[in-house]
Structure 1
């Protein structure tokens, strides 16, 4: 039995949710998102909460129950609060700058990396070594943070590269004499 799926998703004030068959649409102050649930689960919206239940208690219905509830919760949280990822850049000469909707990264290569930021995602460069990515869609925010991190993964000897804020890098000992 799903422990996550049993809890209903509460809808905060200022957010409107419509359930039409397997499609759930949420609209709030940060935009509008929609998701299509699998046929093995059903969703109902009543008394300011969305309840997700499996149609049948078979293996597929139970396994998709908690996943579908998490998707719905991320929709509601995304349009009301939004999601944020923070990246930190460490290394001599490594820095980031934002030029309109183009993120310019200097990560120790012979060339600068120019990354076009999607319109629905907001990127803020607080300092040249910290990047804040925010938006309504959790998947797109995480995907963008992952792609930026992949340009220069943090290495284990000096810790140089792009890492998530709060991420710990396992350090290795260098060469011995």
Structure 2
């Protein structure tokens, strides 16, 4: 398996992975991916490739932390998707690790997500509220609001995560 940046020829495969991985909610998540691409030209989009077939995808996009002194550019990891027949083989974990490394290399101080704490805690994510962060919506379960602090993080960086408008446009915030 190889992890690499998404290329233009991967676009349809990435949308199909998200449609299939998210079941009934898949069409909305695929539309979110297109919306995030449109609204954040600097988005990080990585794919997992196995035998020339794209089997997984992760995306990290710009959001803001409303910290007391000023707004801070941060990143949000969403979505993470692996084809159903390829799940539980380490593809998702490899994608998340590569995303963390790439976001850190870009100089982002924080990477947030909504997700299963049992899964993401293995990859270095911890509950956001334990570090002075507030979730952007009450629809997000406390345990699902998670963060990894990166080398550019400074202790004054606390406050409320403000999702980009795209997440709200597609109603992809919290439980539905």
Instruction: Report TM bin, short chain.
Output: under 0.3
Q: Which has the higher strand share?
A: 1
Q: Structure 1-normalised TM-score? A: 0.27
Q: Which has the higher contact order (CA 8 A, sep 6+)?
A: 2
Q: Structure 2-normalised TM-score? A: 0.27
